[in-house]
A and B are shown apart, each in its own frame.
Chain A
């Protein structure tokens, strides 16, 4: 019987958050700390001709400047911490100035003279693909994989930036919502027989779509502080992850990972933008080393917009064939990604969403990611999947309507199950129960009852929507590490980051459950490298619940094995003659014969070797090896790599149901009801699960209705760098009551039954809301994400200004 999994608890960092006592990177000070600030590019594209910092360096209190010359070179389209020659977006850091106060550093920035040459720029991928269109980089506009013949015929694979242009006819076709014939792509895959699939279709729906990227805008900007002591770097950074940063950050600082202490107890949001070490960490650490002073590099809100990453955008086209029975027989998908200056398009993930949501019998995907002179793009909560969910839902509704099928029934007949597949490779999943989720959602939401109600009420019209969100949700092969102290307490060492999802804590419950230790007798050890933390995954991709319930489980199993071995050695018999319970290991046949965990830990220290961490398994990661070495001799050590057998991707899937009221006079919409039902295996932490549903819904509303990059196309200047204009949803933009539930069927490949669900919470809500907007407007398909109030008003006024030509990154 479960004792921890599926029960509520308070993660240990929550009280510190409500009292303000918990510290984020910027809250740390250090004796002698100095301050650095960035000088950033005012141009969307150009070349730095010269930098004259003489006047700045003469100022009292200025300690030095730091430029790209102080760091290893980064070739385009890598995202350098500091631009070396070419600048590629407004806000790109060019240099840093350090001074004894932040005021002086800022003033010094103003005294630096930078000479630029302008270059052409582009903020719309399709403009760059147009014959004669500008390229974001001097070398071209897209990354192309290359392959040359190497020694003995071994191919040498690489990538280079090239200039790709489409025929004008292909550009015109895509903007008009047709297949861009003759266009060049850099990614493609297919399965089945597309032509045969369309030939079988009773209905074919063909639509263009555009989704606009937008900034992560984590509320804590990526301020870092670093100092060095005797060759060790102590680094305070804001990151989603903990141990997963060690090697990359050490490389940035050119030190052995053993000499890095990365401190990251709390992180003020990441949403994909802080999964790994970000380039600007190199400035803080290396500048601090050069000055031999603790150094803080403060990032402002505007700078967080510039360098804090953003979701990629899409301009695309989809053709969906549906058989008379509702089964999707064929899908042809084209995605042009807006990769910003880093080119991180997520078209393949968008296509993956299509495969999971509708399990098409035949499909083709073609994609290209185009650089634009806009902010760097990277992973943002369900990158690719979630924006695809938002634009695809109304298109799927249109297909369902065309064959006369209820929209939920349409999704049900196409739903993935445990025998289903994901992605272009049609890989397996560990389990999936989407039909069950849809059925549960229909009941909870009252789909049929609400459909029977009148839609129109004066100028206001109701709309109902349904959507599916999906993301792969789990990894394998990481390490777990637990220690039973001589106080009998269970210390669960976690290299998982704390980005506010509390998965770091939820996953530790697996070790407590396995070892049957009451939660109040457990302590999570985390937050800084010198707390001896194991090799853990990065906290991205909704993976943590699946990945690290497994690692903590296997570490606990190792501890149990050792407990039994110690008991057998001391008390006679074989290890299998013993069992655990009540914080004791005891003979199954004679429960009074046993050792308390505290006694066993003391014996482990006396016995040494594997029992107390002097020896450890060969297959654990060097990060974990160092952690075990640090703990050796301090208790009974349980350490293991997750070698639990199995295959397939653990999917996180959510279905959302949304009811809105849309005012046709103003375009304003109000969310009346939102219901989310998850297929994420066993719910590990119910309260946290509920809150994940709520928070994800807010993100869904932002994606579907509000958030977008706006650039001035004439000058390449961003027009909405702040929070106010970027428009993340506020209290008043979202519903105040979310209904939620879970199928709660355990995943067979996780000892606790759990899978992740973080990212799909947004995709399902965005899709359900987009579906509801379309429903409110008699099935009108906007094919945009977001669908903003002005787009709705323009549509109602018969004006297609907002939505034609696949415009992006602008109003």
Chain B
């Protein structure tokens, strides 16, 4: 099953969300922690101000975590959370990655996610970003054969690993992997945006369990959301790829 990094990610994104929210809905500086400030409906003026982070007490931070998906707005989202963590910290940016069996030298900030590196530095756009917060699985790749959400993995953490993206799933002779062939036969993708992630999870599943039941396959692929609801199509594809239906 894909490894979820929800907890870590929740904190990161909720920090951003919280900052963004507060940054725009601020009352005059509080005398104490002013836990009602953010929710004060009588406030007439609200404004953006970076210094609002000064209000970030632990209590409010946790509240932000709780409300994570909630809230807020803004321009927030893709980069700030990572950038806010630290600078380069003296880390080497030029790193060597092994992607789909090939060695790639690539200049990557230490805060960049693997999904971003694959898509925007290596042009491997088959990996999709559906949520960028560890919820949907569209960005699933294999790291040493284990499915992971590439949006929730820092590229610098896979320097010594074997990364397989959808572009690396084909057989060595260039033919499609059995899972890909079966998904075509079942007409399994609908809109197709989640499909690369579904393929990756199915490939990993069959490597570990060559003849899963439909229920086992559903369990194993439950980290991959499909908004079109093509679950049963994909499950039929898994059964076909494993030779259980023809």
Q: Give the distance to chain B from A596, nearest Cβ to Cβ, in Å.
A: 32
By the criterion CB–CB under 8 Å, are B192 and A715 in contact? no
Q: Does B166 contact A (CB under 8 A)?
A: yes
Q: Which of A42, A267, A699 contacts B191 (CB 8 A)?
A: A267
- B81 (CB) vs chain A CBs: closest residue: A106
Q: How far is the CA of A715 from the CA of B25 in the complex (A)?
A: 11
Q: Does A519 contact B (CB under 8 A)?
A: no
Q: How far is the CA of A242 from the CA of B73 in the complex (A)?
A: 31
Q: How far is the CA of A501 from the CA of B135 in the complex (A)?
A: 24
Q: Give the distance to chain A from B230, nearest Cβ to Cβ, in Å.
A: 6
Q: Does A11 contact B (CB under 8 A)?
A: yes
Given contacts A20-B196, A27-B125, A300-B77, contact A724 B69 (CB under 8 A): yes
Q: How far is the CA of A116 from the CA of B75 in the complex (A)?
A: 17
Q: Give the distance to chain B from A64, nearest Cβ to Cβ, in Å.
A: 15
Interface residues as binary, A92-135 with B (CB distance below 8 Å gives 1, 0 otherwise)? 00000100001101110111111111100000000000000000
By the criterion CB–CB under 8 Å, are A40 and B48 in contact? no
Enumerate chain B residues within 8 angstroms of A298, measured Cβ to Cβ: 78
By the criterion CB–CB under 8 Å, are A41 and B135 in contact? no
By the criterion CB–CB under 8 Å, are B75 and A109 in contact? yes
Q: Give the distance to chain A from B212, nearest Cβ to Cβ, in Å.
A: 12
- B74 (CB) vs chain A CBs: closest residue: A40
Q: How far is the CA of A723 from the CA of B119 in the complex (A)?
A: 22
Enumerate chain A residues within 8 angstroms of B214, measured Cβ to Cβ: 736-737
Given contacts A502-B187, A691-B187, A731-B221, contact A715 B230 (CB under 8 A): no
By the criterion CB–CB under 8 Å, are B70 and A23 in contact? no
Q: Does A272 contact B (CB under 8 A)?
A: no
Interface size class of A (residues with CB under 8 A): 35 or more
Enumerate chain B residues within 8 angstroms of A571, measured Cβ to Cβ: none
By the criterion CB–CB under 8 Å, are A731 and B222 in contact? yes
Given contacts A106-B79, A115-B45, contact A717 B71 (CB under 8 A): yes
By the criterion CB–CB under 8 Å, are B218 and A732 in contact? yes
Q: How far is the CA of A40 from the CA of B222 in the complex (A)?
A: 33
Enumerate chain B residues within 8 angstroms of A724, measured Cβ to Cβ: 6, 69, 135
Given contacts A696-B229, A717-B67, A736-B232, contact A107 B77 (CB under 8 A): no
For residues 96 through 148 of chain B, which have their beta carbon under 8 Å from a beta carbon of chain A? 119, 123-133, 135-136, 138
Q: How far is the CA of A22 from the CA of B196 in the complex (A)?
A: 11
By the criterion CB–CB under 8 Å, are A722 and B187 in contact? no
By the criterion CB–CB under 8 Å, are B47 and A114 in contact? yes
By the criterion CB–CB under 8 Å, are B126 and A20 in contact? yes
Interface residues as binary, B1-31 with A (CB distance below 8 Å gives 1, 0 otherwise)? 0000010000000000100110111000000
Q: How far is the CA of A117 from the CA of B227 in the complex (A)?
A: 38
Residue of B190, B191, B214 with most partner-chain A CB within 10 A: B191
Q: Does A306 contact B (CB under 8 A)?
A: yes
Enumerate chain A residues within 8 angstroms of B73, measured Cβ to Cβ: 40-42, 90-91, 302, 306
Interface residues as binary, B29-64 with A (CB distance below 8 Å gives 1, 0 otherwise)? 000000000010101111111100000000000000
Q: Give the distance to chain B from A747, nearest Cβ to Cβ, in Å.
A: 24
Given contacts A110-B80, A220-B191, contact A117 B44 (CB under 8 A): yes
Q: Does A139 contact B (CB under 8 A)?
A: no
Residue of A42, A266, A699, A722 with most partner-chain B CB within 10 A: A42
Question: What is the count of residue pairs linking A and B with beta-carbon distances less than 8 angstroms?
Answer: 277
Q: Does A196 contact B (CB under 8 A)?
A: no
By the criterion CB–CB under 8 Å, are B69 and A722 in contact? yes
For residues 138 through 162 of chain B, which have their beta carbon under 8 Å from a beta carbon of chain A? 138
Q: Give the distance to chain B from A258, nearest Cβ to Cβ, in Å.
A: 30
Residue of B6, B187, B214 with most partner-chain A CB within 10 A: B187
Q: How far is the CA of A785 from the CA of B135 in the complex (A)?
A: 24
Q: Which of A17, A29, A109, A720 contacts B189 (CB 8 A)?
A: A17
Q: Does A725 contact B (CB under 8 A)?
A: yes
Interface size class of B (residues with CB under 8 A): 35 or more
Interface residues as binary, B204-246 with A (CB distance below 8 Å gives 1, 0 otherwise)? 0000000000110011011011111111110100000000000
By the criterion CB–CB under 8 Å, are A19 and B127 in contact? no
Enumerate chain B residues within 8 angstroms of A15, measured Cβ to Cβ: 176, 180, 184
By the criterion CB–CB under 8 Å, are B229 and A715 in contact? no
Given contacts A271-B227, A500-B228, A722-B133, contact A118 B6 (CB under 8 A): no
For residues 712 through 740 of chain A, which have their beta carbon under 8 Å from a beta carbon of chain B? 712, 714-715, 717-726, 728-732, 734-738
Enumerate chain B residues within 8 angstroms of A737, measured Cβ to Cβ: 214, 232
Q: Does A159 contact B (CB under 8 A)?
A: no
Given contacts A715-B39, A736-B214, contact A694 B229 (CB under 8 A): yes
Q: Does A687 contact B (CB under 8 A)?
A: yes
Q: Does B167 contact A (CB under 8 A)?
A: yes
Enumerate chain B residues within 8 angstroms of A10, measured Cβ to Cβ: 184, 187
Q: How far is the CA of A500 from the CA of B79 in the complex (A)?
A: 30
Q: Give the distance to chain B from A756, nearest Cβ to Cβ, in Å.
A: 16
Q: Which of A90, A115, A269 contacts B228 (CB 8 A)?
A: A269
Enumerate chain A residues within 8 angstroms of B225, measured Cβ to Cβ: 219, 723, 728, 730
Q: Give the distance to chain B from A78, nearest Cβ to Cβ, in Å.
A: 21
- B131 (CB) vs chain A CBs: closest residue: A301
By the criterion CB–CB under 8 Å, are B127 and A106 in contact? no
Q: Give the distance to chain A from B75, nearest Cβ to Cβ, in Å.
A: 3
Q: How far is the CA of A538 from the CA of B219 in the complex (A)?
A: 37
Q: How far is the CA of A560 from the CA of B179 in the complex (A)?
A: 42
Q: Give the distance to chain A from B141, nearest Cβ to Cβ, in Å.
A: 11
Q: How far is the CA of A799 from the CA of B158 in the complex (A)?
A: 51
Enumerate chain A residues within 8 angstroms of B88, measured Cβ to Cβ: none
Q: Does B93 contact A (CB under 8 A)?
A: no
Q: How far is the CA of A808 from the CA of B224 in the complex (A)?
A: 30
Q: Give the distance to chain A from B189, nearest Cβ to Cβ, in Å.
A: 4
- B124 (CB) vs chain A CBs: closest residue: A20
Q: Give the distance to chain A from B11, nearest Cβ to Cβ, in Å.
A: 14
By the criterion CB–CB under 8 Å, are A22 and B67 in contact? no
Q: How far is the CA of A113 from the CA of B24 in the complex (A)?
A: 8
Q: How far is the CA of A738 from the CA of B232 in the complex (A)?
A: 8
Q: Give the distance to chain B from A365, nearest Cβ to Cβ, in Å.
A: 31
- B66 (CB) vs chain A CBs: closest residue: A719
By the criterion CB–CB under 8 Å, are A116 and B221 in contact? no
Q: Does B76 contact A (CB under 8 A)?
A: yes
- B125 (CB) vs chain A CBs: closest residue: A27
- A21 (CB) vs chain B CBs: closest residue: B126
Enumerate chain B residues within 8 angstroms of A37, measured Cβ to Cβ: 75
Enumerate chain A residues within 8 angstroms of B230, measured Cβ to Cβ: 691, 694-695
By the criterion CB–CB under 8 Å, are B46 and A46 in contact? yes
For residues 35 through 84 of chain A, which have their beta carbon under 8 Å from a beta carbon of chain B? 37-43, 46
By the criterion CB–CB under 8 Å, are A698 and B231 in contact? yes
By the criterion CB–CB under 8 Å, are B193 and A24 in contact? yes
Q: Give the distance to chain B from A696, nearest Cβ to Cβ, in Å.
A: 7
Q: Which of A18, A27, A103, A726 contacts B176 (CB 8 A)?
A: A18
Enumerate chain B residues within 8 angstroms of A43, measured Cβ to Cβ: 24-25, 46
Q: Does A268 contact B (CB under 8 A)?
A: yes
The 9 closest A-B pairs by CB, nearest first: A20-B126, A698-B229, A109-B75, A500-B191, A268-B193, A17-B192, A42-B24, A20-B166, A722-B69
Besides A500-B189, A731-B224, 15 other CB < 8 A contacts? A16-B192, A18-B179, A20-B126, A42-B24, A46-B46, A106-B77, A219-B136, A266-B191, A302-B72, A695-B229, A712-B70, A723-B225, A724-B69, A726-B69, A736-B235
Please give the residue numbers on chain A whose beta carbons come within 8 Å of chain B beta carbons, in ascending order. Answer: 8, 10-11, 13-24, 26-27, 29, 37-43, 46, 90-91, 97, 102-103, 105-107, 109-118, 217-220, 266-271, 298, 300-303, 306, 499-502, 687-688, 691, 694-699, 712, 714-715, 717-726, 728-732, 734-738
Please give the residue numbers on chain B whose beta carbons come within 8 Å of chain A beta carbons, in ascending order. Answer: 6, 17, 20-21, 23-25, 39, 41, 43-50, 67-80, 83, 119, 123-133, 135-136, 138, 165-167, 169-170, 176, 179-180, 183-184, 186-196, 199, 214-215, 218-219, 221-222, 224-233, 235
Interface pairs (29), CB distance under 8 Å = A11-B187, A15-B184, A17-B189, A19-B170, A20-B127, A24-B193, A42-B74, A90-B73, A102-B78, A102-B79, A106-B78, A109-B76, A113-B48, A114-B47, A116-B24, A118-B44, A219-B194, A220-B128, A302-B17, A500-B191, A687-B186, A691-B188, A691-B233, A715-B39, A717-B21, A718-B70, A722-B135, A730-B222, A736-B235
